[in-house]
Structure 1
Amino acid sequence: MQTNSRATRREWTALAVLMLPLLLVSMDVSVLYFAIPQITADLRPSGTQQLWIFDVYAFVLAGLLMTMGALGDRVGRRRLLLSGATAFGAASLVAAYADSAETLIAARAVLGIGGATLMPSTLALVRTMFRDAGQRAKAIGMWQGVMVAGIALGSVMSGVLVEHFWWGSLFLVNLPAMVLLLVLAPLLIPESRDPRPGRFDLLSVPLSMAAVLPLVWGLKEMPAEGIRLPYVASVAAGLLFAALFVRRQRTAASPMIPPGLFRGRGRTFGTAVSLHLVSSLAMMGSAYFTTQYLQSVLGRSALEAALWALLPSVPIGFAAPLATALVRRGLDRAHVVAVGFALSACGYGLLALTGTDSLWLVLAAAGALACGAVVIGAQLTDLALGTAPAEKAGTASSLLETGQEFGGALGMALLGSIGNAVYRDAIPASAPPEARETLGGALAAARHLPGRAADTLTATAREAFTSGMHTAALTGAVLLLMAAGVAAKALRGVAVRTAKTPDEPAESSLSGV
């Protein structure tokens, strides 16, 4: 057990070990971007199966985050981390050598279960290992940067590996990291759990999944398919189960999510989770447009687009440490978070100025958005975990990450739907039906038209898409500026817990090996 509040070399080494699963889990969100054609040729999935191969990982991950965070508080975060790493490694091996679409879908689902155990466990263990507020803020900034970088690296690694190896290699790269984690984690990472967890409320598990999964699915489908009855019904069902889930947490003797997290001092926790959701909304909403812009407007190949998309990730490594240093030197965290929102809003402002040949302007916009998101994410994560009781670190981490998933889905639904509405209005009624739906549909239709007509449709569709991006960007900028105002006011003067405070019970079951 750590005898003082300052972390030693052992804790920093343990943090590096924890970065392994975090990097792989975040990479797996985007790792299939370039592998789908090879998988389709090899396994011959149906259209529905192809969608499930791609989406089941994110859906299972989102649906189980709260359950696994609360479970880790009860059974031990390190134990859950090791269990998740074992499942993640085994599922990666099965996925790599899957001989049917059904096997690959099942393996991806188990990968989602493993990811749902790994993400809250890593963040909760950072909270319990780093008790000094300054060191914890630095560690969380590194955690945030690795997570954002992993999503960007996943698509690039997909393109490189698929070009030189078979698609199963995308999953085999997980194995060495998971083996290393299983060997080193018991030696370096202390176990921690809630000393008084209470009974695990089993009814909350299906209620939470019934709330999260329909909401995420409906919100993610709306931008591409439009606001249709099945998706609206899915969102409505998710909201209904969300209300039942909240009621259960208020009335259960031992709830999965203690309502006390959001009361008193916990109001700051709720504010941090909500603002983090808005930041995720903006980040994923912008990614919906920038990825299509690079490929379909500028005409870059998928791998070229992924490599260009790495460039805005370069300044991420400096953004979070700089923000943490400013807070440590006495600058109010509220102002730092507000500046992060303003920086992201500037990114959207740059997107609103783009034409149909504005590569560097789009990259600058993406860089500003990414830096702002990392500043916001690092500071709000540190604030949320610092104000939540240490014994509820797993639950607090899972709520932050679930909010992030919701924010991403909502960003694509809200901003994507706005952009698509502008796009459809700008496409002439005489255009082929598929051209009126999406930019990709227009480009596909143009390939079957004679030269001048094809050029006209392509140019019109690209202009329409860019106009839709402008409107969505202005909407996103307004939301971010409003969030900046809320952060500046609601977080003013808020401090986090340090090593031990009178209202934080001592952690039990903290032991090395």
Structure 2
Amino acid sequence: MTGNPIPAKATRREWIGLAIIALPCLVYAMDLTVLNLALPAISAQFRPTASQLLWIVDIYGFLVAGFLITMGTLGDRLGRRRLLLAGAAAFAVASVLAAFARSAEMLIAMRALLGVAGATLAPSTLSLIRNMFHDEHERQFAIGVWIAAFSVGGAIGPLVGGVLLQWFWWGAVFLAAVPVMVLLLVLGPKLLPEYRDPEAGRLDPASMVQSLCAVLAVVYGLKRIAEYGADPRGIAVLAAGTVLGVLFVRRQRHLPYPFLDVTLFRRPAFTAAIVTSALTGLTTMGVYIFMTQYLQLVLGLTPLQAGMATIPWSVCFTAGSLLAPRLARHWGARRTMVRGLLLAAVGFGLTAMVVPPYGLWILVAGMVAMSTGLAPVMTVGNELIITTAPPERAGAASALSETSAELSGALGIAVLGSGGMLLFRLWLGPAVPTGLDAETAARGLATLGGAMRLAGELGGGAGPAFGEAARAAFTDAMRAVAVLGAVLMLAAAWMAARLMRDGGDEGVAVAALDEAGA
């Protein structure tokens, strides 16, 4: 802005530090997916119950989501670098212990510790970027690298897991994280700055318990509803989590140093970024779970072929994240977000047009449009979140962004996923062959996989006919969810355009970006 000194450019130290920051983010995302391929070997060794196997998979993501707000606030109080290094050390130790676990119970405990340690990574690294890069365009590029690291980590998780399992035992999927965390522990103190709020107040234990229990309950309730439908336990836990969340927000209004600064939502740019992030997370996860099943169960691709079909998504997302600063410089923050959301809406619209025999190519085109549009939205949105918040609260603000993404992703699976499967059952119901007992018919209507298994068991021409009807019903359900996704993207674009319409009170970041794009 006119009259302000020109921000200092980043030096080689900051750029090398960014690389050190990006590596643990990649590992953090990889740990969300790398375990899936190892589950058969783990099941063969430990023979876990169905409940234990579910917790081995889910507890990492549960505790990451639950501890994000706490860790973001702790970083502001104790020091962001200190918390990051402590989390890296805990992550390395837990990874080694998980790799050599002697029982299912021990593996669950170590996955839980990995989740707590992993919750330190996202808010600490994003808030450190806020302190390392003072030029808005360099900071946006750094955030693009940060987001790309998560995207690449999630994409290569199954690939890395497959390679390791080809040559080593299942525990090797955990040991892959250890060298990265050791590198962070060695180089972090030399390359990363320390920052904490010198006026931070005392930690409020009640807020910490409320936020943890609220997020865990909401995530668990949504996941259970997504799996079992209108399940009484899931609904009750979700309601309890919502009540705890309301109590948590009310408590923050009366604390001198809150975990969640509710006054941030008075800033239009902050509100636009958070709401847009939530809508994109909800929509993307809700549609993506249909895409992966469509590739394998409808088109008949092998897991490897389906994985290769999603590569354009990851490549375009990474490219879009890195190009976001140039787009923001040319168009400004508001127009970059609005146009990105409109392009994503086009991607969802293309997905809604999937028809044989061009289903694969139309779906890939939709993925390319979606990922290319959403990557700049997430990059610019995260930059707005951490720069419209006061510097001393950047950790808490970035934790709120990550928590919003976690909750919206779970909500997308629960609401859009469950809604899509409801349509699938309604449209497939008339095609169920007569004469089947209620249990067998229900099994065939539960999921697309169940329908295809039932089709294989039916004799004569009934099996192929039912299988074709199941594929058609699932495709129609995916298209319906994609239409809703396009509508939500248009709503997010309208909201971003409206809330970010006036640059005067959106904070220094938006004003500077819009000046650059003018």
TM-score, with length taken from structure 1: 0.93
CA RMSD of aligned residues (A): 1.9
Contact residue 345 and residue 485 of structure 2 kept, 8 A: yes
Helix, strand or coil at the partner of 2:202: coil
| Counterpart for residue 423 of structure 1 | 424
Contact residue 76 and residue 392 of structure 2 kept, 8 A: yes
Contact residue 272 and residue 384 of structure 1 kept, 8 A: yes
Of the three residues 20, 29, 34, the one matched with 2:32 is 29
| Counterpart for residue 438 of structure 2 | none
Q: For residues 321 and 273 of structure 2, what CA distance do their matches in structure 1 show?
A: 16
Contact residue 23 and residue 149 of structure 2 kept, 8 A: no
- Residue 451 of structure 1: how far off its partner (Å): 5.1
- Residue 356 of structure 1: how far off its partner (Å): 5.4
| Residues 132-170 of structure 1: CA deviation (Å, up to 9, x unaligned) | 111111111111111122111112222332233322111
| Counterpart for residue 186 of structure 1 | 189
Contact residue 29 and residue 58 of structure 1 kept, 8 A: yes
Q: For residues 449 and 54 of structure 1, what CA distance do their matches in structure 2 show?
A: 33
Amino acid in structure 1 at the alignment position of 2:149:
V
| Deviation larger for 50-59 or 339-348 | 339-348
| Counterpart for residue 490 of structure 1 | 499
Amino acid in structure 1 at the alignment position of 2:37:
F
Task: Please give the residue correspondences for 1:131-146 in structure 2 after superposition, counting only pairs within 5 Å.
Answer: 131-146=134-149
Contact residue 65 and residue 401 of structure 1 kept, 8 A: yes
User: Residues 160, 443 of structure 1: CA spacing in aligned structure 2 closer, same or farther, 3 A cutoff?
Assistant: farther
Helix, strand or coil at the partner of 1:199: coil
Amino acid in structure 2 at the alignment position of 1:383:
L
| Deviation larger for 303-312 or 361-370 | 303-312
Q: For residues 12 and 63 of structure 2, what CA distance do their matches in structure 1 show?
A: 35
Task: Please give the residue correspondences for 1:189-208 in structure 2 after superposition, counting only pairs within 5 Å.
Answer: 189-208=192-211
Gaps of 5+ in 1: 502-513
Residue 77, structure 1, aligned to residue 80, structure 2: yes
Contact residue 356 and residue 462 of structure 1 kept, 8 A: no
| Counterpart for residue 160 of structure 2 | 157
Helix, strand or coil at the partner of 1:427: helix
Q: For residues 23 and 235 of structure 1, what CA distance do their matches in structure 2 show?
A: 30
Of the three residues 174, 179, 192, the one matched with 1:171 is 174
Q: For residues 14 and 29 of structure 1, what CA distance do their matches in structure 2 show?
A: 24
| Residues 107-147 of structure 1: CA deviation (Å, up to 9, x unaligned) | 11111011101111111101111111111111111111111
| Counterpart for residue 281 of structure 2 | 280
| Counterpart for residue 379 of structure 1 | 380
- Residue 473 of structure 1: how far off its partner (Å): 0.7
Q: For residues 445 and 309 of structure 2, what CA distance do their matches in structure 1 show?
A: 28
| Counterpart for residue 113 of structure 1 | 116
- Residue 4 of structure 1: how far off its partner (Å): 6.0
Of the three residues 480, 490, 499, the one matched with 2:489 is 480
| Counterpart for residue 347 of structure 2 | 347
How many residues are aligned here? 496
| Residues 477-509 of structure 1: CA deviation (Å, up to 9, x unaligned) | 1111011111112113536536xx9xxxxxxxx
User: Residues 162, 303 of structure 1: CA spacing in aligned structure 2 closer, same or farther, 3 A cutoff?
Assistant: farther
Amino acid in structure 2 at the alignment position of 1:463:
A
Contact residue 348 and residue 482 of structure 2 kept, 8 A: yes
Contact residue 138 and residue 325 of structure 2 kept, 8 A: no
Amino acid in structure 2 at the alignment position of 1:347:
G
Q: Which runs of 4+ in 1 moved over 4 A?
A: none
Amino acid in structure 2 at the alignment position of 1:464:
A
| Counterpart for residue 392 of structure 1 | 393
Task: Please give the residue correspondences for 1:122-133 in structure 2 after superposition, counting only pairs within 5 Å.
Answer: 122-133=125-136
| Deviation larger for 9-18 or 89-98 | 89-98
Amino acid in structure 2 at the alignment position of 1:482:
A
| Counterpart for residue 3 of structure 2 | none
Task: Please give the residue correspondences for 1:212-227 in structure 2 after superposition, counting only pairs within 5 Å.
Answer: 212-227=215-230
Of the three residues 8, 11, 19, the one matched with 1:8 is 11
Contact residue 418 and residue 471 of structure 1 kept, 8 A: no
Contact residue 276 and residue 492 of structure 2 kept, 8 A: yes
| Counterpart for residue 504 of structure 1 | none
User: Residues 409, 356 of structure 1: CA spacing in aligned structure 2 closer, same or farther, 3 A cutoff?
Assistant: farther
Q: For residues 473 and 201 of structure 1, what CA distance do their matches in structure 2 show?
A: 43
| Counterpart for residue 314 of structure 2 | 313
| Counterpart for residue 272 of structure 2 | 271
Of the three residues 81, 88, 92, the one matched with 1:89 is 92
Q: For residues 480 and 318 of structure 2, what CA distance do their matches in structure 1 show?
A: 30
- Residue 211 of structure 1: how far off its partner (Å): 1.1
| Deviation larger for 92-101 or 450-459 | 450-459
Of the three residues 443, 446, 468, the one matched with 2:455 is 446
Contact residue 283 and residue 373 of structure 1 kept, 8 A: no
User: Residues 112, 355 of structure 1: CA spacing in aligned structure 2 closer, same or farther, 3 A cutoff?
Assistant: same
| Residues 6-33 of structure 1: CA deviation (Å, up to 9, x unaligned) | 2111100000000111000011111122
Q: For residues 356 and 223 of structure 1, what CA distance do their matches in structure 2 show?
A: 28
Helix, strand or coil at the partner of 1:5: coil
Contact residue 156 and residue 307 of structure 1 kept, 8 A: no
Q: For residues 493 and 4 of structure 1, what CA distance do their matches in structure 2 show?
A: 24
Q: For residues 113 and 175 of structure 2, what CA distance do their matches in structure 1 show?
A: 15
| Counterpart for residue 68 of structure 2 | 65
Amino acid in structure 2 at the alignment position of 1:178:
M
Q: For residues 260 and 161 of structure 2, what CA distance do their matches in structure 1 show?
A: 37
Gaps of 5+ in 2: 1-5, 434-440, 513-518
TM-score, with length taken from structure 2: 0.92
Helix, strand or coil at the partner of 1:45: coil
Contact residue 252 and residue 258 of structure 2 kept, 8 A: yes
| Residues 252-297 of structure 1: CA deviation (Å, up to 9, x unaligned) | 343212233233xx34212211111111112211211111111221
| Structure whose residues are more often helix by fraction | 2
Residue 103, structure 1, aligned to residue 106, structure 2: yes
Amino acid in structure 2 at the alignment position of 1:420:
M
| Residues 440-473 of structure 1: CA deviation (Å, up to 9, x unaligned) | 1112223322253322222111111111101111
Of the three residues 39, 42, 47, the one matched with 1:39 is 42
| Counterpart for residue 338 of structure 1 | 338
| Residues 361-400 of structure 1: CA deviation (Å, up to 9, x unaligned) | 2122122222222111001001111111111111011000
Contact residue 153 and residue 310 of structure 1 kept, 8 A: no
Amino acid in structure 2 at the alignment position of 1:307:
M
- Residue 235 of structure 1: how far off its partner (Å): 1.4
Amino acid in structure 1 at the alignment position of 2:462:
A
